[in-house]
Structure 1
Amino acid sequence: MKKLRIDILSDLVCPWCFIGYTRLEKVLAQLRIDKHLQPEIHWHPFELNPTLPAGGEILNQHLQTKYQMTAQQRQLSQQKITKLGNELGIHFQFTADMRIYNTRKAHQLMMWAARSQQQTPFQKALFLAYFQEGQIMDDTDTLLDIAVAQGLDRRDCRRVLTDPGWSSAVVQTEKQWLEAGIQAVPAMIIEQHILLNGAQPITELHDTLDGLIDTLPSLH
């Protein structure tokens, strides 16, 4: 048995983060069998839109303003994302009234979830709630419901959301990653020294991890 540490920077409103993780998940499932692998995943915050007000804004308008995307460019991009998602079992639901949200609260809960080793199931639930179910991702009760469904305690989660210290922790952590040179997500750091930017193709991701695992010591 070999242990492999993977640190992931992501934001729940980033479709490429959802795609990138799902590809990783499929690769790790195979490597668990082939290489007797024990992956250890740590999630870290990276807010794409930390200044968005409560309630967010219409996604299509946001893409046009922030990235200067035309309607055609936006449509082609979302079609590509939807196609790639379908290949992975993700069913993206891009609608005309879909909104994009400030994700600070979600990141606070994600940081706290590390204490109970519930980060990954919680992150997956956040992706699904936003991209497939169209839930309001800056709403406290929505986030609490998602957290509780993953086995987290509602009272503890509510304290995390109301404690300014957790908000500050998110900001400070993001600052440290920016200073380390991370400028976009998804970003994966393998064994704390190999950086993989973007949603890596499954074959390339498999080859990278497969080769690295052979160099790792076995657990006893």
Structure 2
Amino acid sequence: MPTQPLRIDIVSDVVCPWCVIGYRQLARALEATGMAHEIHWHPFELNPDMAAEGQNMREHIMEKYGSTPEQSEESRIRMADLGAELGFEFRWSEDMRMHNTFDVHQLLHWAESQGRMHDLKQALFAAHFTHRRNLSDQTVLAEIAGEIGLDRTEALAVLDEQRFAAEVRAAETHWLRQGIRGVPAMIFDKRHLVTGAQGVENYTRILEQLAEMRG
């Protein structure tokens, strides 16, 4: 009998730079191994208590993690270099802001019903890190949805009505109860948890080990 595709559940937030780096590294490894797979994205809010207007990103990182301006800059350079290797552009600026992403996750939930969650997730990563768009603004989020071919008017209605608030809260709670406290968190075949951006080589080894275990 043919082996079922490898199920990969990814818990992440679109304002998490390591989430896009980790996903891109995993995608390279999947391409290298040729393993059949299916990816399922799940919500996680890095800043669930953040106000709607957001906060300056560097200020936020320094407050949250106690990093110095020099450490913050070194981290940005490192992430930009990793992104460039993976075909993703981080365009850092001093006025970049961190956002509350509850609306983002509701929009992604809706996009899943259209079979477009993955595409919207990638568009939102780029919107935030490359184009520095305001993900706290419902109109901007609806525009991003429209740009990938989703119904902009319906997207705006979903956000205005907070149509999937309960579903997103339930999903976030589920993963917190599973012990997920940081992202990216990747669960392979519903059994094997890998956290953080592991690098292409490590992901390749993980996939090869999983292939052996699956026979």
Shorter-chain TM range is over 0.9
Partner of residue 29 from structure 1, selected from 31, 54, 60:
31
Q: How big is the alpha-carbon RMSD for the aligned residues of Structure 1 and Structure 2? A: 1.5
Counterpart-to-counterpart distance in 2, 1:30 and 1:73:
33
**TM-score, normalised relative to structure 2:** 0.93
Are the counterparts in 1 of residues 26 and 199 from structure 2 also a CA contact under 8 Å?
no
Partner of residue 69 from structure 1, selected from 56, 67, 77:
67
Counterpart-to-counterpart distance in 2, 1:30 and 1:143:
33
Corresponding residue for residue 210 of structure 2: 212
Counterpart-to-counterpart distance in 2, 1:67 and 1:129:
24
Structure 1 regions of 5+ residues with no counterpart?
A: none
| Shift of residue 38, structure 1, vs aligned partner | 2.8
Counterpart-to-counterpart distance in 1, 2:168 and 2:18:
21
Corresponding residue for residue 147 of structure 2: 149
Equivalences for 1:166-177 in 2 at 5 Å?
166-177=164-175
Residue 206 of structure 2 aligns to a residue whose secondary structure is: helix
Paired residues, what number? Answer: 213
Residue 82 of structure 1 aligns to a residue whose secondary structure is: helix
Residue 55 of structure 1 aligns to a residue whose secondary structure is: coil
Equivalences for 1:1-220 in 2 at 5 Å?
2=3, 3-32=5-34, 37-216=35-214
Counterpart-to-counterpart distance in 2, 1:52 and 1:167:
16
Amino acid at match of 1:4: L
Change (3 A) 1:216 1:114: farther
Residue 6 of structure 2 aligns to a residue whose secondary structure is: strand
Residue 121 of structure 1 aligns to a residue whose secondary structure is: helix
Amino acid at match of 1:125: A
Are the counterparts in 1 of residues 15 and 99 from structure 2 also a CA contact under 8 Å?
yes
Amino acid at match of 2:29: V
| Shift of residue 155, structure 1, vs aligned partner | 3.1
Residue 94 of structure 2 aligns to a residue whose secondary structure is: coil
Structure 2 regions of 5+ residues with no counterpart?
A: none
More displaced 10-residue stretch of structure 1: 166-175 or 198-207: 166-175
